[in-house]
Amino acid sequence: MDAVDVSEHYEVTAADNSPSLLSIVLDTNPRAWAALDSSLSLAQAISNILVFVNAHLAFSNTNQVAVIAAHVNRAVWLYPAPQNPSATTTTKDNSGDVQMQDVSAETNSSSASANKYPQFAQIESSVFSSIQTLMAETTVQDLDQVTTQLSGALTLALCRINKTAQSLSSSDTTISNAAPVNSTAPPPVKGRIVVISVSDSEPSQYIPTMNAVFAAAHNQVAIDTIALAGDSTFLQQACFNTNGIFLKASNPQGLLTYLMFGLIPDTEARGSLITPTHDTVDFRTACFCHGKVVDTGFVCSVCLSIFCEPPENAECLTCGTILALGNYGAKPAVIPRKKKKKKKITNGSGREETGSATGTPRP
């Protein structure tokens, strides 16, 4: 009957889009933000980032977000905030009844404004309260460290994306258990990481940072970067290896403009758009022996470790292989040029000698 009245022509099948997980890594180095305070303060930057987060969540009700702080001594979750075990435990009185607890002040402040979307208010309160706690726990000894734990923040973001992907894969009932596994299939969640950088790349963080970058490239996770200040050499390589976007902000006050116009589309939407490109990429690396950024170095042929100078006793510091430098440093061999045969001049003429006893007859 359906074939007669062509009713199947009007049947529309809706396919659910895979959710997009946006992980934001915020560099919270106090010294770097103090130098940038005249043009953009940390509070203003967080407000701009929250607008960007709300725009990402407004695209779809399946989109998710995570905010991580890369501090000088550790990486801290800003949202979702770690749960306090003491606040989640329940107590019982002598009669066996569970004692009810009052609603926390955070929930009251979130529900105080009726004009604010509850999820937006929850993220805002969690980020601001976590960043205040982080800054309050920062000591003077922590400020002496110039290293920003970028690698730890990237690792936390990758773990969050992997955990979300596994939960979505296990809850998907449309895929049969007997279906073959396709390694080239797209991941169940479109994960990407946006790094807000304000400090220089630390050479001691090169190895763990690149390990996280290679893991992100393997899992099809793009790493985007907005460099507000500092020399972000390693982040340029991270964006290049993961097909991400690198933006060097000439005016830090326009952070929200860079976020909304440059980094709002996810990895799937970028296939239909012209994304910003970075002309030059700094491919310099850090040596494994002293942690210095070098242009030219010595590479181990076994483990590919890089050294700024030949190691002692020609032994690799990573795998212990005895290396041979060969003829490195020797002067190149100079091959003498072959002498050209000169033309023999006969009777003042420039003709070659024919070897005959008589000359060339003239008319």
| Range 7-24 burial, b when 16+ CB lie within 10 A, else e | eeeeeeeeeeebbbbbbb
Rounded-to-integer distance, Cα 363 and Cα 348, Å: 20
CA distances from 318 to 49, 203, 283, 315 (A): 41, 17, 22, 9
Domain boundaries, the chain: 20-83+116-170+188-282, 284-327
Mean pLDDT for back-to-back runs of 10 residues, the chain (363 residues): 54 64 95 92 95 94 94 92 57 48 44 75 93 91 80 95 88 51 66 94 85 93 94 89 92 94 89 81 80 81 81 80 72 74 62 57 67
Kindly state the DSSP code that residue 197 receives in the 8-state scheme.
E
b/e per residue, 286-310, with b = 16+ CB within 10 A? bbbbeeebbeebbebeeeebbbbee
Global confidence as pTM: 0.73
The pair of three-digit structure tokens given for residue 182, joined into one six-digit string: 């396709």
Asked if residue 336 has a cis previous peptide bond (ω within 30° of 0), the answer is no
Domain 20-83+116-170+188-282 coded CATH 3.40.50.410: yes
